[in-house]
A and B are shown apart, each in its own frame.
Chain A
Amino acid sequence: MTSPTLQQTLAVARRILLEFWRQRRSLIFWAVFPALMLLLFGLIYRNNASMRAGFDTTPAGILIGAALFFSCLGGTVSIIVAERERRTLRRLLISPLNPVAYFLGIVAALSTVACCQAAIVFALAFALGARYHGSIALGALIVALSVFAYVGLGFFFGARFAKRAEDVNGPVAAFGVPLLVLGGTFFPTSLMPGFLIALARFDPVYHMNEAMKGVAGRGEGWDQLAGDLAFLAIFAAVSLALGVVSYRRMLTEEKRS
């Protein structure tokens, strides 16, 4: 990466984080929502004697589904839509900003948010008696792949389907929430009927959850998680490519407007 691209990436990330800081309400919601979900589901599973210590496996699903999903996917869609509505996208187009730096700047900003969310979720889970059993590096890789996949999808939905701020909730709810439920975010997939489990294997959220639950709750390593990691890596690459193509198309439309 050339130095100007790095400087631009950091500038975009810094600006987004500064904006988040100024709109503290969003940050508070992004912290409160997963914390409450963790408490709720942790308590439900702990009360069920047939399940392994609820607070060991619950944080993984909550982090993937209730935290990263809304901050990284929903956050990306909001950033792009706001950029278009405020007409700042046009100003960015006139500037020498490299589109790759813009993309990576959003990834960097949302990765920072993701790290904070992971810290909050696991700190709360630890306080309630949970333990993290696996490799921290592997956990970080799963979070990074999830962030890339969500940001890529966010670019795709934001550029293609959400022209105004009011349009943001539609695609996120219509496509995202069913994927979260099917992916076993809020309950173990073992509760689902066979055909749904078969269907869930095509859901990237399922692989994010399985990988994160595996490493955090069961201490599984590279060998056991190779399938989930491969799926995630391919999906992250595909969604990034999809996001880049949609973003370029949006830029072309913006130039003509």
Chain B
Amino acid sequence: MTMLRMEGIRKRFGGHTVLDGLSFSIRRGEVYGLLGPNGCGKSTAINILCNLLDSDAGTVEVAGEPVSRRTQRRIGACPQEIALYKDLRPQENLDFFARLYDLSGADRRRRVAELVRLFRLEPFARASVADLSGGWRQRVNIATALVHSPEVLILDEPTSAVDLEARHELWELIEGLKQGGITTLLTTHHLDEAERLCTRVGIMREGRIAAEGSLPDLLALVPAKAIALIETGDEEGARSRAEALGWATRAYAGKLGVLLARQVSLREVVEAFDGIEVSSVSVQPVALEHAYLQVLHGAAPVDDAHAETVTEAASGAVLRGSS
């Protein structure tokens, strides 16, 4: 069953088009990662799903029902910022929001106790949220979104402001929720997070989904088995050498990326660039990061044409562009 569906969503603010035909759907129990650079329209899409904004065109449905104040109850949204009452204790925050969702006495107490247990908040029963570390505050932030047992959970960059250890702990928690069967929409800039948690990923570019699929599908968009990243003072020379060897190249975050059609050892790559000024070389298997950059910078640019071309890649990933 489709739990969330956005179809052909358009949204303009003044003269600026933020969403330009955004379409995706999430099935029950899926964790869908919505990725994209800042300003690509992720937050606007979330605001529309949460019924905070109206779209100018298109269809938005939650469990088959057009988005409305009623569908808000089926969604639990965890904002990127810690949106909690910091002078209150974790369970007092949970209790307050449970009351807003009309949970009555016994049900409310049971649900708050469940969440305190699930998010391991028992040691902080007497502490105010202000006294908690960033990671623990984020736990309370997520728990608060679940207080009314929603069918869909929206996590907006849940680990953007926590340290590495807390991030891993939050991943475990989110994996636990995933096993519980909750449908989740996750936005993140940490691509390793999307790799670990998401069953499907949509990559947004210029207000629409530019590519979508499971992790293997998206990885298959990169025409390589591995990528050598080379830092060089002679980029032109390195590029010519790679092309002479039949290796395609891409620019990856200030480095020259060499797409390797087969797994090649570091030694082979170093030897291949012998005689060219190279300051560092690394070889790594293709990851979501590479597929992401491929989609954002490697594919044909999205132009303003209305007709949309959807290409089913050999892998199963769907590439969407304009013709």
Contact = CB atoms under 8 A, between A and B. Distances in A.
B73 A96 contact: yes
B96 A86 contact: no
Interface stretch (A4-12, A218-226, A229-237): A4-12
Interface string B75-117: 1010101111111100010001101111000000000000000
Nearest to A92: B100
Interface in A86-111: 86-88, 90-97
A7 B99 contact: yes
Interface stretch (A18-26, A129-137, A139-147, A184-192): A18-26
A255 interface: yes
A15 interface: yes
Contacts of A96: 69, 72-73, 100-102
B50 interface: yes
A86 B79 contact: no
Contact of B83 (A7, A8, A86, A255): A86
Nearest to A254: B52
Contacts of A94: 50-52, 72, 75, 77
B contact patch SS? loop
Q: How large is the interface on A (under 10, 10 to 19, 20 to 34, 35 or more residues)?
A: 20 to 34
B144 interface: yes
B263 interface: no
B53 interface: yes
B128 interface: yes
Contact of B128 (A4, A22, A91): A22
B79 A95 contact: no
Contacts of A22: 87-88, 128
Interface residues of B, number: 29
A96 B83 CA distance: 16
Contact of A18 (B52, B72, B79, B92): B92
B69 A18 contact: no
A84 B86 CA distance: 13
A256 B128 contact: no
A92 B77 CA distance: 11
Contact of B85 (A10, A86, A95): A86
B315 interface: no
A255 B47 contact: yes
Given A11-B99, A91-B144, 18 more contacts: A4-B102, A8-B100, A14-B96, A15-B96, A22-B88, A86-B83, A86-B85, A86-B86, A87-B83, A91-B77, A93-B52, A94-B52, A94-B72, A94-B75, A96-B72, A96-B102, A97-B100, A256-B13
Interface of A: 4, 7-8, 10-11, 14-15, 18-19, 22-23, 86-88, 90-97, 255-256
> Which 5 residue pairs of A and B lie closest in terms of their CB atoms, listed nearest first?
A11-B99, A22-B87, A87-B83, A91-B83, A255-B52
